[in-house]
Structure 1
Amino acid sequence: MKRIREIIERIVRQEIRSALADSEDIVKEAVKTSLLPELRAATRDAISRVVEDMLKESPEVEETPPLSASITPQESAGIQETELVAPPEAEISASSEVGARPKKDSDGKYLYCVAEGSERISLGKIGIEGNEVYTIPYKDLCAVVHNCPAQPYKSEDNEVVKSWIMAHQKVVDIAWEKFGTVLPLGFDTIIQGNEDTDPDENMKNWLREDYESLKEKMEKVRGKEEYGVQVFWDPKVIAHKIVQRNEEIQKLEKEMKSKPKGAAYMYKQKLERAIKKEMEAKADQYFKDFYN
């Protein structure tokens, strides 16, 4: 009965992965139609805030009525680095414990990536905290791992966490240089054993069960490199650059400062509209350039 359940679960997982792969275009279209308009709206609200704050700095001009803005400015947008491979089912869940990891015997495998290779070889002590990194092969694929306790890496020290993440990426880079093509896993993917099998066997079982899917992904990323990209939009910086580079806006600003308060109020409204228009155009341009 247990074996039948495992087979059914494996079939369901494979069907879900296949459905997600087939829906890639649908997901992309959903991002365009749903997410991007929301980001544009948030950016416009941020622009209103910044323009108002910037123009308040001029003491000669009475303040305009506050502009409505209910969304906190989006400080950054970009493509988050994602896993190319779904982790094996035997991955441990995140622990709530915080602190140093106690040294234990090998009861888990920390998984960096999957590469092309048919031999069990050592890459040296290049892993997180100086652990020896080696491969677990199945046919012409191999998992790049190190031995570890079956519990996640957790620390309150940001520098420690940063060093772990950098070490993880370094191993993936070295594996890429050695094997040519790799499928990276996310930081802190740890495989544990169960009652019937040890972590090594669980890793091989996963490679065997997902072999065809992994091979397809290998072909898809062959000859390509993965980059994490973040685009930072600081409305205040953009607004000041527009004022500095746009002659018409500079002219409006000078005229506003030379007028009495009553007339300056009207010029301030003109200046607000001009800056907002330029910033919205710039934001739309960036969205199109970066997303497409």
Structure 2
Amino acid sequence: MGDPTFEEGRYLYCVVENEDDAELAENGIDGEPISVLVRNGLGAVVQPCDSPYDSDDLETVREWLVTHQSVIDAAGEAFGTPLPFRFDTILKGDDDAVREWLADQSEMLDSHLDQLAGHWEYRVGVTWDEERVRDELRAEDEELADLRERIDDASEGTAFLLEKQYDNRLRDLRKARKDELTTRLRNELDPLVAEFDVVDSKGGVLESNETEEVVQVSFLAHEDREEEIGRVLDDVAAEPGIEIRFTGPWPPYSFAPELDA
């Protein structure tokens, strides 16, 4: 960003395809008005600012981040798939400086918008019945059964060590099942999506009353594929003890190239 001090600047939300200057019926950070500044068929969604948005108050920062995303969401609904900027990306100067930047970067921006046209980000979270999974793993794995017998017959000190082995084995089996589920999602969604990403989630053994998502994935897909994707997820959710959370479409936050002013 360089020197953070400036007299006039424009906070940048995203770039969209648009032919005419416009306004969005959406309030920006701190209630500032949102404008769409156009050059060569490209529109930069911006608001005026005279300093970066920086605060030690986490609640304030959270509100700024939510507003940042809300404006980009609104731009996507109004103009089609946007190219989002990272939070607190600012171009020094006035509206004309933004239009000059659009003209200078038009070839690159056009290329990215063409690639993303009609594509949106979708997110899937999977939960399962933890007690059911534990019971199935115990019934299927001979090593667990052997350890349980040895624990029942062991002295207190030996039993403690064997319990640790038992828990580690159960954790490894649970992680393997989680990986199998992730691989199934990847393989079955692969023909339908442009990009696929696994969001890191905890792999430890959960208490039976916890409902934390055991698999989280996001992917970039064309809007025309939504029904087919839904059918794949329905098949996965039909498995006993499995529940699916499917959200989207979202602007391609995870899959768009990073843009700098």
TM-score, normalised with respect to structure 2: 0.57
Secondary structure of the structure 1 residue equivalent to 2:109:
helix
How do 1:183-194 and structure 2 match up within 5 A? 183-193=83-93
Query: 2 CA distance for matches of 1:139 and 1:285?
Result: 48
Aligned to 2:8: 107
Distance in 1 separating the partners of 2:22 and 2:152: 76
CA distance in 2, matches of 1:272, 1:200: 61
Alignment of 1:171-250 (within 5 A): 171-193=71-93, 199-227=94-122, 242-248=133-139
CA deviations on 1:50-99 (whole Å, 9 max, x unpaired) are: xxxxxxxxxxxxxxxxxxxxxxxxxxxxxxxxxxxxxxxxxx3486x9xx
Contact 1:242 1:275 in 2 (8 A): no
Match of residue 155, structure 1, among 33, 37, 55: 55
**Which amino acid letter does the alignment assign opposite residue 142 of structure 1?**
G
- Matched residue SS, 2:86: coil
- Per the alignment, in what secondary structure is the counterpart of residue 187 of structure 1? coil
Cα-to-partner distance string for 1:183-203 (whole Å, 9 max, x where unaligned)? 11111111103xxxxx32221
Q: How much has 1:229 moved relative to structure 2?
A: 7.4
Identify unmatched segments of 5+ residues in structure 1: 1-91, 98-103, 194-198
Paired residues of 1:94 and 1:152 also in contact (CA < 8 A): no
Classify 1:273/1:148 alpha carbon distance in 2 versus 1 (closer, same or farther; 3 Å). Answer: closer
**Which of the two has greater strand per residue?**
2
Amino acid at match of 1:127: G
- Residue 153 of structure 2 corresponds to 259
Q: Distance in 1 between matches of 2:72 and 2:172?
A: 45
**Cα distance change, pair 244–156 in 1 and its aligned pair in 2 (3 A):** farther
| 3-state SS in 1 of match to 2:67 | helix
| Larger mean Cα displacement after TM superposition, 111-120 or 242-251 | 242-251
Cα separation, 2, equivalents of 1:272 and 1:225: 41
Distance 1:267 1:164, change over 3 A: closer
The separation in 1 between residues aligned to 2:55 and 2:63, in whole angstroms, is 11
What's the TM-score, normalizing by structure 1? 0.52
Distance (Å, rounded) in 1 between the aligned partners of 2:90 and 2:30? 15
Equivalent residue letter for 1:154: D
CA contact (8 A) 2:72 2:84 kept: yes
Identity rate, percent:
30
